[in-house]
Chains A and B, each alone.
Chain A
Amino acid sequence: MSKLFSPHSDIFLECDEYLQISEYLNDKINPKEQEFLTEAIVFYEKHRHDSDDSF
C-alpha cells in the first residue's frame, strides 16, 4: 500500500447507515459500476502528475 496512505481515522456510523453500506457491499458489482471503475483507472493514470503517490 502507498506510503502516503495508511489508516488515520475511524468513523462511527449510525447502525442503520452501517447496515445499509454493508448490505450494499454484499451485492455483486454491476456493469455500470465496473465501467466507472475501468474509466477511473484510465483517468487516474493519465492525470496523476506526481510520482510520490505511487505505491
Chain B
Amino acid sequence: MCFMRSIGMTQTTPFDPNGLKFKIFNPKKHQLPMIDFRQTNGEDPLSVQDYYEKYIFNGNSDTTEVKYVIKYFDNWIGFFSVDLTRLYTKQSELIPQSKEKDKREKFSQVPTSALLIKKIGIDSQYRCYGIGKYIMLFCSGLVQAINKDKKIKLVIFKTTKSLAEKIYFPKYQFNFTGTSGKLVWAFKRIC
C-alpha cells in the first residue's frame, strides 16, 4: 500500500482515492500553482510542462480540447486534456503494394472515432499512487457517458514506449502501437 507523508508532520496516511476531484478547468475560477510535471530525470518528452504553463498556469485558451484539473483534497495535483478525434491512415501508406490491398482500402474509407487524451500531467510529488489509473477510469467513464450512439470506439493517447511497456499495458491493459520510435499510441476500446 502507498502512503503519503503529511506536510509538516512525521506521520503517514494512506492514499485515499475518494479524495480525488476532477473539475473542468475554468481560468476564471481555478488558480493553480506552478507544479513540476517533468520526469525525475528532468526531461519532458511529451511537452507536459510547457502545455501546463501555457494553458493552465497562464490560462491561455486558444485550444479546442477540454481541460480537466485534479484536486486531492485541498491540493491541486494534476491535469489532463481530452478531445474527440477521428483516426485515419496516412494516404501515402495506401498505395496498393500487398495482397491486403482490399483490406487497406476498406480501413481507409471510414475513420475511427476516439477520445484523445492530449496531455496528462501528475505532480511529481504524487506519482506512484496509481493516479494514472484513476485518470484512465475517469476518461473511460466519461466517454461511455457521452457515447450513447456507440460511435466512439477508443480511448487513445500518445506516450513513451517505456511508460506503455512498464505501466499502461501491464497495469491498465492499454495496448500500444508497435512503432520503433520513442513515442507510441496507447489505446483501449470503450465499447
List residues of chain A with CB under 8 Å of any chain B CB. 1-2, 4-22, 24-25, 29, 32-33, 36-37, 39-45, 47-50, 52-53, 55
Q: In the complex, what's the smallest C-beta–C-beta distance from B51 to chain A, in angstroms?
A: 15
Q: In the complex, what's the smallest C-beta–C-beta distance from A12 to chain B, in angstroms?
A: 5
Contact of B88 with A47 in the complex, beta carbons under 8 Å:
no
Contact of B22 with A48 in the complex, beta carbons under 8 Å:
yes
Contact of A2 with B22 in the complex, beta carbons under 8 Å:
no
Contact of B179 with A39 in the complex, beta carbons under 8 Å:
no
Contact of B146 with A1 in the complex, beta carbons under 8 Å:
yes
Closest 5 CB pairs of A and B: A44-B141, A15-B93, A40-B140, A40-B141, A43-B137
Contact of B140 with A36 in the complex, beta carbons under 8 Å:
yes
User: Which B residues between 41 and 69 are near A, CB-CB below 8 angstroms?
Assistant: 64-66
Residues of A with C-beta under 8 A to B89: 12-15, 18-19
Asked, given contacts A15-B104, A36-B173, A44-B141, whether A1 binds B90 with beta carbons under 8 Å apart, the answer is: no
Task: Tell me if B's interface is mostly helix, strand, loop or mixed.
Answer: mixed
Contact of B24 with A43 in the complex, beta carbons under 8 Å:
no
Residues of A with C-beta under 8 A to B38: none
Residue in A5, A17, A21, A39 whose beta carbon sits within 8 Å of that of B146 in the complex: A5
Q: Is B163 an interface residue (CB 8 A)?
A: no
| Per-residue interface assignment for chain B, residues 80 to 108, with 1 indicating a CB less than 8 Å from any chain A CB and 0 otherwise | 00111111111101100000000110011
Q: Is B20 an interface residue (CB 8 A)?
A: yes
Contact of B144 with A40 in the complex, beta carbons under 8 Å:
yes
Residue in A7, A19, A29, A33 whose beta carbon sits within 8 Å of that of B104 in the complex: A19
Q: Is B120 an interface residue (CB 8 A)?
A: no
Query: In the complex, what distance in Å separates the CA atom of A8 from the CA atom of B81?
Result: 13
Query: In the complex, what distance in Å separates the CA atom of A53 from the CA atom of B81?
Result: 13
Contact of B87 with A13 in the complex, beta carbons under 8 Å:
yes
Query: In the complex, what distance in Å separates the CA atom of A4 from the CA atom of B141?
Result: 15
Residues of B with C-beta under 8 A to A39: 137
Contact of B23 with A8 in the complex, beta carbons under 8 Å:
no
Q: Is B119 an interface residue (CB 8 A)?
A: no
Most buried by B among A7, A20, A49: A7
Contact of B149 with A53 in the complex, beta carbons under 8 Å:
no
Residues of A with C-beta under 8 A to B23: 49-50
Query: In the complex, what distance in Å separates the CA atom of A23 from the CA atom of B111?
Result: 14
Contact of B177 with A17 in the complex, beta carbons under 8 Å:
yes
